[in-house]
Amino acid sequence: MLKPTYPYYLANEAQQPNTDLEVTDKYTGKVATRVALADAKAIDAGIAAAVAAQEPLRDFRPYQRQAVLEHCVKRFRERYDELAMALCIEAGKPIKDARGEVTRLIDTFKVAAEESVRIDGEVINLEISARAKGYRGFTKRVPIGPCSFISPFNFPLNLAAHKVAPALAVGVPFVLKPASRTPIGAIIMGEVMAETDLPKGTFSILPAHRDGADLFTTDERFKLLSFTGSPSVGWDLKARAGKKKVVLELGGNAACIVDSDQGDRLDFVVERVIFGAFYQSGQSCISVQRILVQEDIYDRFRDAFVASVKKLVSGDPKDEKTFIGPMIDEKEAKRLDDWIQEAVKGGAKILCGGKRTGAMLEATVLENTDPKAKVSCMEAFGTVALIQKYKTFEEAAHLVNNSDFGLQAGVFTYDVRKVMRAWDELDVGGVVIGDVPSFRVDNMPYGGVKDSGLGREGIRYAIEDMTEIRLMVMRDP
């Protein structure tokens, strides 16, 4: 279970100036613990400490950074059950999903440990004409400087890890603002990092309310802002970020195409699409929201899919049998319930689900939804999936691209021509063949286009954003 109170971390040190932030058990709605809440003064101190840490971090060698990351991996393994239960309570994440996220946390830090000792440069041939005779070029990557990180509630451990782990690998100091509704995982991460010999000021982990955290965006001492969260907030932060580099991992309304040649393994496809649509109550930016099924197998797929969805167990996320837990709060559940009812008024048919009790919303499947309905064209971020038929693959590709978002798409087909066409034409950051768009491994480049964001995460790709290329030109004597 959770401790009664938790500190925040300022310049590597635990501090408990207050217990002002209440963190609730998302299933019961009761206060589960209280956390120190940072004010503008603490955030300013964290930024100043990060600036001061740049020089000592410059002398903190790659093998030392690797040792810090390896220590984190070891301690996360030792605290596996504690981390999983914290996720289950603070995020309402079904315990099996929570364990999966802790596993990914460990994977992310493992990959960062490997990458920390291979941040290399290159030799450039400059002798492209006679005037450059005798000149040689060399590049290396150097840390960009203090970084501002803002992480979301839905993956409180792993999405914070995708900022923290590459920062440790590179040697950039940072200040992290975890989501105020789910700060515990990040605080435990800070507790583990505080056990190491990182230079003072390398990290601060400061839970804060959004309206009191403006310095994370506007302060010019930060050289990079990395934000994961909703599109409306993300684009607003970018507009106010000034000269700093900005990386945005935002929302989606991911589509999954099921080709007619999948009739021989429909059970497998149904199983994967159900996972993609409803794991952790659909609160993932790559959750399957739109299911596009070729008309020749549409009826078979729809009937099998709906029958399987009806069998999903909803309830207490601490129960091993639970697949659908609560949404993050009742307000979000009501918002999505309203979207579903709006779609029904516009002609959509509820094939299953559609009922809400507090923060619990049944796994819901809609058919014949107007493409302009909010639940179709916006990010649902909850327990709903839309199913529709298509005739040709060209039509399906058009339906995928007919979206303001472009994070990932899934394609179930055996046809290599359709595979290549999907890779060439789908306007998304990633195309997953033979599986759902909800698939992610933590070393792959991950990010989107259009309203889904800017830049890529995945350790090596995040390292590129957290470093600058520095050139040296040498003339032969």
Catalytic residue IDs:
249, 285
- Largest interatomic CA distance in the chain: 79
- Amino acid code (one letter) for 302: R
- Amino acid code (one letter) for 51: V
The Cβ of residue 303 has, within 10 Å, a number of other Cβ atoms equal to 12
- Amino acid code (one letter) for 282: G
Exposed e or buried b per residue across 328-348, where buried means at least 16 C-beta atoms within 10 angstroms of its C-beta: bbbebbebbbebbeebbeeeb
Q: Is 262 helix (H, G, I), strand (E, B) or coil?
A: helix
Q: Are strands 13-15 and 8-10 parallel, antiparallel or unpaired?
A: antiparallel
Q: Is 87 helix (H, G, I), strand (E, B) or coil?
A: helix
Pick from 263, 281, 285, 216: nearest CA to 453: 285
DSSP state, residue 199: P
Strand partners, 471: 139
- Amino acid code (one letter) for 20: D
Strand partners, 410: 256, 432
Going by C-beta distance under 8 Å and a sequence separation of 6 or more, which residues neighbour residue 428? Answer: 400, 406, 407, 408, 409, 437, 448, 449, 452
Going by C-beta distance under 8 Å and a sequence separation of 6 or more, which residues neighbour residue 223? Answer: 144, 145, 146, 147, 244, 245
Q: Is 406 helix (H, G, I), strand (E, B) or coil?
A: strand
Rounded to a whole number of angstroms, the CA Rg of the chain reads: 23
Asked if residues 428 and 450 have their Cβ atoms less than 8 Å apart, the reply is: no
- Amino acid code (one letter) for 159: L
Structure tokens at 265: 């393994």
Asked if residues 416 and 259 have their Cβ atoms less than 8 Å apart, the reply is: no
The Cβ of residue 70 has, within 10 Å, a number of other Cβ atoms equal to 17
